[in-house]
Amino acid sequence: MKTNAVVIVSVISLSSLFLGSCDTPVGQGAAWGAATGAIIGGAATGNVRAASIGAAAGAAAGALTGKIVQENQAARYVATLIPASFFANHSRLPALDQRACA
Protein backbone atom coordinates (compact mmCIF):
# COMPACT_ATOMS: atom_id res chain seq x y z
CA MET A 1 0.00 0.00 0.00
CA LYS A 2 2.85 2.40 0.77
CA THR A 3 4.43 1.89 -2.63
CA ASN A 4 1.15 2.81 -4.33
CA ALA A 5 1.01 6.06 -2.36
CA VAL A 6 4.58 6.91 -3.35
CA VAL A 7 3.82 6.21 -7.00
CA ILE A 8 0.66 8.32 -6.92
CA VAL A 9 2.43 11.25 -5.25
CA SER A 10 5.31 10.98 -7.73
CA VAL A 11 2.95 11.00 -10.72
CA ILE A 12 1.05 14.00 -9.39
CA SER A 13 4.29 15.88 -8.67
CA LEU A 14 5.74 15.18 -12.11
CA SER A 15 2.53 16.09 -13.88
CA SER A 16 2.38 19.41 -12.05
CA LEU A 17 5.94 20.15 -13.18
CA PHE A 18 5.08 19.35 -16.78
CA LEU A 19 1.90 21.38 -16.71
CA GLY A 20 3.71 24.31 -15.10
CA SER A 21 5.88 24.68 -18.20
CA CYS A 22 2.80 25.50 -20.25
CA ASP A 23 2.66 28.95 -18.66
CA THR A 24 5.36 30.24 -20.99
CA PRO A 25 4.81 30.94 -24.69
CA VAL A 26 7.26 28.14 -25.53
CA GLY A 27 5.31 25.63 -23.44
CA GLN A 28 1.97 26.78 -24.82
CA GLY A 29 3.26 26.58 -28.38
CA ALA A 30 4.64 23.10 -27.81
CA ALA A 31 1.38 21.93 -26.26
CA TRP A 32 -0.80 23.31 -29.06
CA GLY A 33 1.61 22.01 -31.68
CA ALA A 34 1.66 18.53 -30.18
CA ALA A 35 -2.11 18.40 -29.97
CA THR A 36 -2.56 19.66 -33.52
CA GLY A 37 0.14 17.33 -34.89
CA ALA A 38 -1.39 14.32 -33.17
CA ILE A 39 -4.86 15.11 -34.51
CA ILE A 40 -3.62 15.66 -38.05
CA GLY A 41 -1.32 12.61 -38.00
CA GLY A 42 -4.03 10.38 -36.57
CA ALA A 43 -6.73 11.65 -38.92
CA ALA A 44 -4.54 11.37 -42.00
CA THR A 45 -3.44 7.78 -41.50
CA GLY A 46 -5.58 6.31 -38.74
CA ASN A 47 -2.73 4.69 -36.82
CA VAL A 48 -1.05 5.55 -33.54
CA ARG A 49 2.48 5.69 -34.91
CA ALA A 50 1.65 8.50 -37.32
CA ALA A 51 -0.18 10.35 -34.55
CA SER A 52 2.86 10.17 -32.30
CA ILE A 53 5.17 11.32 -35.10
CA GLY A 54 2.78 14.18 -35.82
CA ALA A 55 2.72 15.10 -32.14
CA ALA A 56 6.52 15.20 -31.97
CA ALA A 57 6.82 17.29 -35.11
CA GLY A 58 4.03 19.59 -33.97
CA ALA A 59 5.59 20.05 -30.55
CA ALA A 60 8.92 21.02 -32.09
CA ALA A 61 7.32 23.49 -34.49
CA GLY A 62 5.08 24.88 -31.75
CA ALA A 63 8.02 25.34 -29.38
CA LEU A 64 9.96 27.25 -32.03
CA THR A 65 6.96 29.46 -32.72
CA GLY A 66 6.49 30.00 -28.99
CA LYS A 67 10.14 30.98 -28.61
CA ILE A 68 9.74 33.61 -31.33
CA VAL A 69 6.65 34.97 -29.58
CA GLN A 70 8.51 35.04 -26.26
CA GLU A 71 11.44 36.97 -27.76
CA ASN A 72 9.08 39.48 -29.38
CA GLN A 73 7.30 40.01 -26.06
CA ALA A 74 10.62 40.55 -24.29
CA ALA A 75 11.78 43.03 -26.92
CA ARG A 76 8.52 44.94 -26.67
CA TYR A 77 8.86 45.04 -22.88
CA VAL A 78 12.43 46.35 -23.07
CA ALA A 79 11.36 48.97 -25.61
CA THR A 80 8.84 50.36 -23.12
CA LEU A 81 11.57 50.74 -20.50
CA ILE A 82 13.73 53.00 -22.67
CA PRO A 83 12.38 56.57 -22.65
CA ALA A 84 11.49 58.20 -25.95
CA SER A 85 13.89 61.07 -25.21
CA PHE A 86 16.81 58.65 -25.56
CA PHE A 87 15.84 57.93 -29.16
CA ALA A 88 15.29 61.63 -29.89
CA ASN A 89 18.83 62.48 -28.77
CA HIS A 90 20.47 59.42 -30.33
CA SER A 91 18.58 59.08 -33.58
CA ARG A 92 21.62 59.22 -35.89
CA LEU A 93 24.85 57.33 -35.74
CA PRO A 94 27.98 59.40 -36.43
CA ALA A 95 29.00 57.18 -39.36
CA LEU A 96 25.66 57.78 -41.04
CA ASP A 97 25.69 61.54 -40.56
CA GLN A 98 25.97 63.43 -43.85
CA ARG A 99 28.57 65.83 -42.44
CA ALA A 100 30.78 62.93 -41.39
CA CYS A 101 30.83 61.58 -44.95
CA ALA A 102 31.92 64.86 -46.56
- The larger pLDDT score, comparing residue 65 to residue 17, is at 65
Query: Contact at 8 Å (CB) between 62 and 32?
Result: yes
In total, how many domains does the chain have? Answer: 1
Mean pLDDT on 55-66: 91
For residue 39, tell me if it sits in a domain: yes
For residue 37, tell me if it sits in a domain: yes
Neighbours of 91 (CB within 10 A): 7
For residue 12, tell me if it sits in a domain: no
For residue 100, tell me if it sits in a domain: no
Alpha carbon separation from 8 to 1, 4, 17, 30, 80 (Å, rounded): 11, 6, 14, 26, 46
For residue 85, tell me if it sits in a domain: yes
pTM of the model: 0.57
Structural domain span for residue 55:
19-91
Q: What is the pLDDT of residues 1-47, one digit of tens each?
A: 556 666 676 666 656 556 665 678 888 888 888 888 888 888 888 88
For residue 44, tell me if it sits in a domain: yes
Neighbours of 34 (CB within 10 A): 21
For residue 65, tell me if it sits in a domain: yes
Q: Please give the share of the chain, as a percent, with pLDDT higher than 90.
A: 12
Q: What is the pLDDT of residues 67-94, one digit of tens each?
A: 999 999 888 887 777 666 666 665 555 5
For residue 69, tell me if it sits in a domain: yes
C-alpha 94/C-alpha 59 separation (Å) is 46
